[in-house]
Structure 1
Amino acid sequence: MTAPRPAPADPGVAERVRDLIARDGWTQRRFATAIGLDETKLSKALAGRRRFAAAELVAIADATGATVNRLLHGRDDARTHTAVPGGSALTDSGTSRGAAARRRILEAAWNLIADHGYHRVRTADVARACSTSPATIHYHFPSRSELLDSALRHNVKLAFDRQVAELGEVTDPHDRLLQLIDLQLPDGELLRREWSIWIQVWAESAIDPARRELYWASYDRWYRSVLMTLSDGADARVFVPGRAEPLARQLTALIDGLGIQVMAGTPGTDPAAMRAVLHDFIDRAVLLRPRQNLPHRTENE
């Protein structure tokens, strides 16, 4: 039995990446370094002789401010297996040199807030991290509160890009739901930083009603992604019918609670244990025919 042939490269994706490189004045070597890709592999992908991997698309989106949705489909709001950010959760990708500077500042602020906490990060710390002046920070982000709001929008974009890149070809709703959960586990530096930002925004929203609208708009994208997957599974008669909305509420709440426990270092918790609990919930409450209730098959069946 021969292995399946890899999917061919999409010339549209290569063209859009070439346009972004030209727009921002990158050399091919600098761009390859910026996205952590061998220059020869980048050259082949730009020529349409190699397909960009999911992780490479995410890195390109992060470096240029574009979304993976735009890279793959030519538009930010193309319908895929994950919900598109809406309202105040939208990020301002921009196309100017000023937008590139803003992205560098935001990346530095996002890392600092995630690692040290919103209330411990000063404008001077952000300026030092990205080798600029406090005045430049204030130009792009007039208040420290705006930095946290922008960090949340950055979280939304990171998750959106990752999900579009990874889930685009996962047609089975059950496999897609499990993969969606894996993409959300606080496992590894990047995901732990995303969770840190979310936890801080939750805490700030609890005491600052002015921040809640942005939080709701941002969280809604994640909730709708889970709901879409559950609805697709119900339509395919893989998941229980008529319960997509309550199951989405239960599953997202369970993910939130377990993630907080992992981030807080609660004894007996880690990403693997979190995954096991979530898989058990899906087996028992989501699947139309739970695995543990399936009849045992003999060797002759």
Structure 2
Amino acid sequence: MTGTRHASTPVDAAVAERVRELLARDGWTQRRFSEAIGLEETKLSKSLAGRRRFPAAELVAIADATGVTVNWLLHGHDDARTHTAVPRGAARTESGSDRGARARRRILDAAWNLIADRGYHRVRTADVAHACGTSPAAIHYHFPTRSGLLDEALRHNVKLAFDRQVAALGEVPDPHARLLRLIDLQLPSGLLLRREWSIWIQVWAETAIDPARRALYWDSYDRWYRSVLMTLTDGADAGVFVPGRAEALARQLTALIDGLGIQVMAATPGTSPEEMRAVLHDFIDRAVLLRPATHDTATEAG
């Protein structure tokens, strides 16, 4: 018996249509676009024709390459309600499709990588220009200050996390499974996630000494907190998580994730992404899950 063929759905067809619009908008050929997102051209062709679904990782890659959000790809607008909170004033689909918009995305990608790998204070404008094959003047045109580059790197972090969560959590209806998946999506394992954590840690350090940066940080971090809170609230409403404690648990859980992530990034002896996951799962088992009543283990003598 042959393998089961993917049955096209209206959602798949709509996503394929939006991706085709993006290719036409930006002048991509299928070959160049498949190379840009790291996908075999035959798979891209099948997806564009509606014979293959774009999995989560491909949706994230498409959104990153074109400046749109995964929410827009899936639903046609950035603020569609999903299982993750929508950013306030960040992670919006770019309306510009001209050469300038693409140049800005290329500069931001280069700056984000450099800041994550080397550190904000060690990255010069000339380094960014060299990394993306342009001039320092072009960098200054799109990002007049080096401080502005760090702010944009933080916004890029928010978009990456938002896209990843929208793509991965949409088909996870069970709140407990969704919370565990949400945690996995934040573990500092793999180059991309470690770079995101590096940016966050640097922003935390800068925010501690630069009050002017705090509003952007609060806005950006708020999205992550609200995503955790949404999941905990859904679980309490479904009778899976303890009731009446969603906000307190969201603060405890996000603080625990932050602290453990910093320890992993600092290579603290005895820490690892796997150990971080185990500690978080233990917290959820003990503090979040609503367990059914158990029989009294005490037995009568005799």
> Could you state the TM-score of these two structures normalised by the residue count of structure 1?
0.94
Which 4+ stretches in 1 moved above 6 angstroms? 293-296
1:93 is matched with 94
2:155 corresponds to which residue?
Answer: 153
2-structure distance, mates of 1:295, 1:271 = 37
Residue in 1 aligned with 2:288?
A: 286
**1:204 — aligned with what?**
206
C-alpha distance 281-7 of structure 1, shift in aligned 2 (>3 A)? farther
Change (3 A) 1:169 1:29: same
Could you give the per-residue CA deviations for residues 9-57 of structure 1, whole angstroms, max 9, x where no partner exists? 5110000000001101111100000011110110010011111011000
Q: Conserved in 2, the CA contact under 8 Å of 1:91 and 1:154?
A: no
Deviation at 1:92, TM superposition (A): 6.4
Cα distance, 1:97 vs. partner? 1.9
- Which residue in 2 is equivalent to 1:193? 195
Contiguous gaps of at least 5 residues in structure 1: 297-301
* CA apart distance, 1:90: 4.1
Alignment of structure 1 residues 41-190 onto 2, 5 Å: 41-87=43-89, 89-91=90-92, 93-95=94-96, 96-190=98-192
Match for 1:143: what amino acid? T
Q: What is the distance in 2 between the residues matched to 1:217 and 1:40?
A: 41
Give the aligned partner of residue 36 of structure 2.
34
Q: Residues 90 and 31 (structure 1 numbering): CA distance in 2 closer, same or farther, change over 3 Å? A: closer
Match of 2:300 in 1: none
Q: 1:294 to 1:104 in 2, by over 3 A?
A: farther
- C-alpha separation in 2, matches of 1:248 and 1:6: 38
In 2, are the aligned partners of 1:177 and 1:229 still within 8 Å (CA)? yes
Question: Once superposed, what is the RMSD of the aligned Cα atoms?
Answer: 1.8
Quote the offset at 1:72 in angstroms: 0.4
Confirm or deny that 1:238 pairs with 2:240.
Answer: yes
> Normalising by the residue count of structure 2, what TM-score does the alignment of the two structures yield?
0.93
In structure 2, runs of 5+ residues without a counterpart are 298-302
Pairing 1:207-218 to 2, within 5 Å after superposition: 207-218=209-220
Quick one: which amino acid aligns to residue 183 of structure 1? Answer: L
Q: 2: distance between equivalents of 1:51 and 1:294?
A: 48
Higher mean C-alpha displacement, 3-12 vs 260-269:
3-12
Alignment: residue pair count: 292
Identity of aligned residues (%): 81
